[in-house]
């Protein structure tokens, strides 16, 4: 029969093995990954909306873009900046290395999965693409604008560490 010391030593050995294979990075890498992800997804959404508007050759594309930009400013200022600030408040105090996937919380991974599913459903819905482009421009541009804060904080962290 195993005693508590042997069980404790076994858990400690297992923890060290897991720690060796865990992809750990410093907070500067986490800031870069967060900013890069927001920028990349935003750029993808903007590109999709551009292609939709180009494919339909709508003369009112300027209108759809203008409405999308207004939506982006609202989403950026009233929504995404709060999320960025919350993430920065979590990442910046981190010391040492953390798991590479901790640039967002586990709850945020669920939200991302739901957003991907909703985007897929919207793209395959009967909603005309020019109207859908307003939403994609709004969210895409808001993501790109919000990513700037991550990258600005990253640059200040790099300067501070020198």
- Predicted confidence (pLDDT) per residue in 42-58, tens digit: 999 999 999 999 887 77
Rounded to the nearest integer, the mean pLDDT of the chain is 88
- Residue 20, pLDDT score: 67
Percent above pLDDT 70 for the chain: 87
- What Å distances lie between residue 74 and 35, 39, 43, CA to CA? 20, 18, 18
The per-residue pLDDT for range 88-108, each reduced to its tens digit, is 999 999 888 888 888 888 888
pTM here is 0.83
Region 109-129: what's the mean pLDDT?
93
Which region, left, alpha or beta, applies to residue 2 given φ > 0 means left and ψ of -120 to 50 means alpha? Answer: beta
> Is pLDDT above 60 for 32?
yes
Q: Which helix (H) or strand (E) holds 116?
A: helix 106-123
Q: What is the pLDDT of residue 105?
A: 87
Checking if the pLDDT of 10 tops 90, the result is no
Return the pLDDT at 59. Answer: 74
Contact 11, 115 (CB under 8 A): no
């Amino acid at each position: 029969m195993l005693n508590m010391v042997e069980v404790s030593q076994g858990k400690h050995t297992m923890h060290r093995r897991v720690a060796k294979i865990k992809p750990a990075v410093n907070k500067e890498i986490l800031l870069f990954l967060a900013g890069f992800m927001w920028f990349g997804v935003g750029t993808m959404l903007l590109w999709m909306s551009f292609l939709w508007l180009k494919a339909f050759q709508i003369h009112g594309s300027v209108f759809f873009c203008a409405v999308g930009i207004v939506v982006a400013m609202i989403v950026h200022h009233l929504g995404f900046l709060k999320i960025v600030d919350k993430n920065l408040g979590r990442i910046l105090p981190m010391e040492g290395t953390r798991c590479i996937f901790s640039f967002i919380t586990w709850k945020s991974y669920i939200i991302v999965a739901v957003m991907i599913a909703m985007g897929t459903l919207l793209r395959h819905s009967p909603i005309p693409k020019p109207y859908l482009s307003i939403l994609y421009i709004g969210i895409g541009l808001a993501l790109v604008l919000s990513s700037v804060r991550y990258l600005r904080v990253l640059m200040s962290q790099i300067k501070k560490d020198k």
